[in-house]
Homo-oligomer: A and B are copies of this chain.
């Protein structure tokens, strides 16, 4: 974990949304900027499935974070004015309690004895962090991808606890294509003999399954349009071994291979499975019996929904549905449809498109020309 990581124990039994509990789970988080006197300037970031709490560098840790170009003095999430908080999701493996943690009641790793994880739990645990800092009302929740649903879970379970909400490439509930994509990724990991029903040695992850799952993940995180522009039918120069005649030949294959190798082993397999499943399970309609009722349970002052035209995981019509629903709960809801080419991952890589939009909504002090 980063030297900048802070920890808080949520004392007592943390009751899980679908049953079971965690005994005094730990939450890892980082902060940038200071809380003001009345603690009204907190911005809480929920990440996607795989990042840690290290969203940006700081004095304690100069390593660039996963949203480095969004956070800082004069940046859209402006550390001169706001206290930015990013939590490592409950269930993850970067300091927060998850399936790879030791169950204090047994002294053993949780593994698959970890109770069913939901994004309601992820939201609730993050809310515990915020409360531990004495914050009564969160200025803005920003949720990216899975984090958008975690944030929505927090908002629906604590009406009035959040003033503004920014949903980025997320949804009110995943559609079957996204569920199928994730389900197959999970199956690829579970089919690796090294997974051993979840009982692998933590230092010896089912990396073959993880590699394959990552490749599949990348196919939903990027866009066919990007790859057409970027790779076309370009070939690589290849002089290594391989399963002739099926070795890597096209640049797009080599790109996926490099991404898969970089990611595999960096994330605990069971944690990935739990968080992936939690993403499938989230459905705002479960809060009240219908999507409309779910939206009515929200109590927000301002909402920004950002979607990307080339996103195949959380497609544009879901963004519109989300924004329409949000409007019923909050008149000051704005939908921005970004014409980025890099699909679902655009919020991580196309900063020039996202910064002005978020800057304008947050009213940051930086100079980002708004385009929408």
Contacts and interface: CB of A to CB of B under 8 A. Distances in A.
Interface stretch (A30-38, A228-236, A334-342): A228-236
Contact of A253 (B183, B208, B250): B183
B277 A245 contact: yes
B184 A219 contact: yes
Contacts of A228: 175-177
Closest 7 interchain pairs by CB?
A: A177-B224, A176-B252, A176-B227, A176-B231, A183-B253, A180-B252, A175-B228
A186 interface: yes
- Size bracket of the A interface: 35 or more
Chain B CB within 10 A, most for which of A180, A188, A212: A180
Contacts of A183: 248, 250, 252-253, 256
Main secondary structure of the interface of A (DSSP, over half): helix
A112 interface: yes
B246 A186 contact: yes
A286 to B, nearest CB: 10
Identify the interface centre among A174, A227, A230, A315: most chain B CB within 10 Å of its CB. Answer: A227
B212 A188 contact: yes
A135 interface: no
Given A216-B216, A253-B183, A246 B177 contact: no
Interface of A: 112, 116, 173-177, 179-181, 183-184, 186-188, 190-191, 193, 197-198, 208, 212, 215-216, 219, 224, 227-228, 230-233, 243-246, 248-253, 256, 273-274, 277, 280, 283, 312, 315
A75 B256 CA distance: 45
A180 B187 CA distance: 19
A215 B181 CA distance: 10
Contact of A176 (B180, B233, B280): B233
A232 B188 contact: no
17 contacts: A175-B227, A175-B232, A176-B228, A176-B232, A177-B224, A177-B252, A179-B250, A179-B252, A179-B253, A180-B215, A180-B252, A180-B256, A181-B219, A184-B256, A190-B243, A190-B246, A197-B243
A228 B315 CA distance: 12
A231 B256 CA distance: 30
Contact of A180 (B116, B246, B253, B280): B253
A244 B184 contact: no
Nearest to A115: B245
Contacts of A186: 246
A176 B212 contact: no
